[in-house]
Chains A and B, each alone.
Chain A
Amino acid sequence: MRALLLLTAANMKSFLRDRAALFWTLAFPLIFVVLFGSIFSGGQGQRDVGWADLDGSAASAQLRAIFAAAPNVTLTDGSETDLRAKMKSGGLAAIVVVPKGYADAVAGGRGGGAATLVVYTDPTQQSQTAGALQLVQGVLAGVNQRISGQPPVVSFEARTIQTQNLTFISYLVPSILGMALMQLGVFSAIRLVGDREKLILKRLNATPLKRWQLVGSNVLMRLVVAIAQTVIIITVGVRLYGVQLSGNLVLLGALVVLGSLAFIALGYVIASFAPTEDAANGMTSVVQFPLMFLSGTFFPIDAMPDYLKTVARVMPLTYLSDALRQVMVDGTPFSPLWVCFAALAGFLVVCLAISARFFRWQ
């Protein structure tokens, strides 16, 4: 036990002193979170909306006041042309144009006339567009009701079912965590093959150390790093981008440990077949990129064409990321949680069996 802990500490020291390892395991996933977080969290903050009033009536001024009172909205007045130019340069989320004759149309409203506002949005900014249209609809519903003087016959009450409020960043943070855990495990192959190639494994084998101590120290060190990754990624997601963590922490911990073990075992499988450190490097890339891109890391599997869905279904990372989303942010399950756990456990057992058969110590 003492030897195991000493060796784990030595592994940890080596890891902490290895700048490249630190970058790939800690900084690299964070860069993803910050990068995507900054791009996709725009819908959450203040919304600038352009306001072009072509009617100039008391009724239109009243409408403006209602819009201006909506939460998180700042109105910018201007001509339609100016505002369109401003939106193109990224200064506005949407433009509302009040047509000439608005007051008259509203006045005749009880008689059956209607006014139509024009709302410009940018289809390339999906979250902004959805937010802006929602805002306009909400405000107009209130206005209509007031003008008609009657409550709507049919209304709705908004209730959420799991993903209703799942923003893209909430989708992404568990994905990035899954990716980071996968890389931590898979990259262990390079270190293992390097240690074998440099005869470090052989030298350790000439001491009374047992093989389970060698494997155990590597696994323990990586589990500690995995937990550190989890804490860091979640903290950044929650603090910087308002990701709402809603799951059971014990379940999350179990998932992080099981996922890490499964991918460390995959690292041993790679190390079983890579003759040199360079080969291990190459094989690691070959394994990690498909895992990264075909496991729903950056976009939901449901959005994939059917043949890619089939591929995603056999990717072990699919189940880790899916389960992480379910546990962390109540994401829509692609597979039930128990299936995810079973898939990861099964994958772990298969990798262990292959490593036990093919891993060479010298």
Chain B
Amino acid sequence: MTTRGSGEAVIRVDELRKTYGQTHAVDGVSFDVQPGEVFGLLGPNGAGKTTTVEILEGLRKPDAGSVRVLGIDVARDADALKERIGVSLQTAAVYPKLTVVELLDLFRGFYRRGRPTAELVTLLGLDEKRNTRTSDLSGGQRQRLAVALALVNEPEVVFLDEPTTGLDPAARRSLWDIVRALQSEGKTILLTTHYMEEAEVLCDRLAIMDHGRILASGTVSELVENRFRERSVRFEGIAGLDDARLAALPGVSQVKHENGEVVLFTSDVPATIGAVLATTERLGQEPRNLAVRRATLEDLFLDLTGRALRD
């Protein structure tokens, strides 16, 4: 078994590449995850998150780059790694005819060490469904079962791929509570998501991915607040008001367009708003739906990729 000192990364990914035909699914990705951290890979569908995670789990072989998880070179010794990690894939329909308890017992039997099924059932809030066939579970229950299956072997690292996709808000929140509980048990968690809110709420640090690359990484505050010290002033676009003129307004650092709205990033909100009003008045118009907002991950994503993150 590998020993690791505090501060040494649990996951270390260096220049990872994976190509399918002409598509660079993962195109030079590097990041690391510290012990006890919840680390998020955030990006739209097809960004390469799942491919990256599956390489870390030993399910796919990388074309280039190195991946170490718990000090194990995944490309060389995936079998040793599988004993010590927990995996929740995007789908959870394993053996639909078995009950929750039967399935957990079965998976528990695949590993050398493990956690009692009864304890897992309670932790994941599945007590009432313990003898229900997995095909009869709701989406949220199924997702919790998938997480439970990822915990049967007392893993040190847990991979959750899109754990809340397709869930209603209540089920999503209950899963967030579970992730926090796991973190308080000291587990290191890597999750992928395309929900901004989820990343903001759960992740200590995150990496934003698109087209197989990491565009930015850090804590949410590093990413958003440091990068966007400014706030945004936004209003519906006005004909005759060109970007050059807007960019010259006091305080404005950037001009963007989003869904028909003009978005001005500014370090001096009152000065900018005053100038916007003065300018539009000269054009005989009035800015409609004028609003001021703090920058979010959404803005960051838009800034990084030039497009919005879709659900």
Contacts and interface: CB of A to CB of B under 8 A. Distances in A.
A199 B91 contact: yes
A204 B59 CA distance: 10
Contacts of A13: 97-98, 102
A10 B95 contact: yes
Contact of A209 (B90, B94, B95, B110): B110
Contact of A208 (B96, B98, B102, B111): B111
Contact of A14 (B83, B95, B109, B110): B95
28 contacts: A3-B109, A6-B110, A7-B106, A10-B95, A10-B106, A13-B97, A13-B98, A13-B102, A14-B95, A14-B96, A14-B97, A17-B133, A198-B91, A199-B91, A200-B93, A206-B57, A206-B58, A206-B59, A206-B82, A206-B87, A206-B89, A207-B82, A207-B87, A207-B111, A208-B82, A208-B110, A208-B112, A209-B110
A3 B153 CA distance: 14
A73 B102 CA distance: 61
B89 to A, nearest CB: 5
A18 interface: yes
Contacts of B107: 207
B94 A203 contact: yes
B79 interface: yes
B302 to A, nearest CB: 32
Q: Which 5 A-B pairs have the closest CB atoms?
A: A206-B87, A17-B97, A6-B109, A14-B97, A207-B110
A2 B109 contact: yes
B87 to A, nearest CB: 4
Chain B CB within 10 A, most for which of A6, A10, A18, A204: A10
Contacts of A209: 110
A202 interface: yes
Contacts of B94: 200, 203-204
Interface of B: 57-59, 79, 82-83, 87, 89-98, 102, 106-107, 109-112, 133, 149
B102 A10 contact: yes
A348 to B, nearest CB: 28
Contacts, number: 59
A116 interface: no
A3 B82 CA distance: 15
Given A13-B102, A17-B97, A199-B91, A208 B79 contact: yes
Contacts of A3: 109-110
A205 interface: yes
Contacts of A7: 106
B97 A18 contact: yes
B50 to A, nearest CB: 11
Nearest to B85: A206
A209 B111 CA distance: 8
Contacts of A44: none
A3 B152 CA distance: 14
A188 B112 CA distance: 30
A248 interface: no
A362 interface: yes
Interface string A191-213: 00000001110111111110000
Contacts of B106: 6-7, 10
B228 to A, nearest CB: 38
B43 to A, nearest CB: 20
Contacts of B95: 10, 14, 200
Contact of B59 (A10, A18, A202, A208): A202
Nearest to A11: B95
Interface in A1-57: 2-3, 6-7, 10, 13-14, 17-18
A3 B83 CA distance: 13
Given A7-B106, A13-B102, A203 B89 contact: yes
A362 B94 CA distance: 14
A333 to B, nearest CB: 42
